Chain A
Amino acid sequence: MEALKAELKGKIVEVLNLEDISVDEINDNDPLFGDGLGLDSIDALELIVLLDKDYGIKLTDPKEGKTIFESIETMAAYITANRTK
């Protein structure tokens, strides 16, 4: 799962235009929303698109996003369990 986590960090920085943040600065368990990376509601929607586009996962209930996108760790775990690509 380490490779996936590294891959996710890279994708998040790119897809969400986090220009000032380098991949090394993102820790696996840092909160992505709120205080940590400071992502907002539009970023959450973009991550839902990312799950679909890159991993073939369609979230049926977007509210699930709250727990899935808590951190890189939780994202990687969810993707590993549910990916179709």
Chain B
Amino acid sequence: MSGEEIEQLVRNVKYLTDRMDMVDRVLKASNMGEDMVLVYRCQHSGLFYDGDYGPEWGRKYGIGLGPDPVSECLNSAYEERPPEITADIQRIEQIMHPLHTTKAQLDAFLMPASKVEYLIPAMEDPFLHQRAAILYAKQLVNPRSRIAGLVTRWEQLKGAVK
């Protein structure tokens, strides 16, 4: 870990607390090495955001989600019906249970860098293309989902048009 990275880590920790003495004690007690990184865990998904999530809220993260940091993670609303298949639908992937921002709580963690699995930040996917594809795949196999039946219906409709 470079000096600049350590400095960034200390800055991020200071954002959370001024009690650096306590942080030192925790680090020593945990026998943590230099590959530890500060991350924020989304309580909904269990996945992580970078340690700058709090300081960069409103700049790199959470655009439009209000003044206080929460998770940008998306989830599927299985209790809501998917949209109807109409003549305007061109791809079956347009039809899925609607998505919503979870706004789940975030917790700060010090984690070994190799074990951190990051979420896709909303700013890197403003039109939801990457995240919708991930959630669509999950909807196809979720027992609460009604998507599988719609895929069959879509195939029938396509066959009827041919």
Verify that A and B bind, or say they do not.
Answer: no
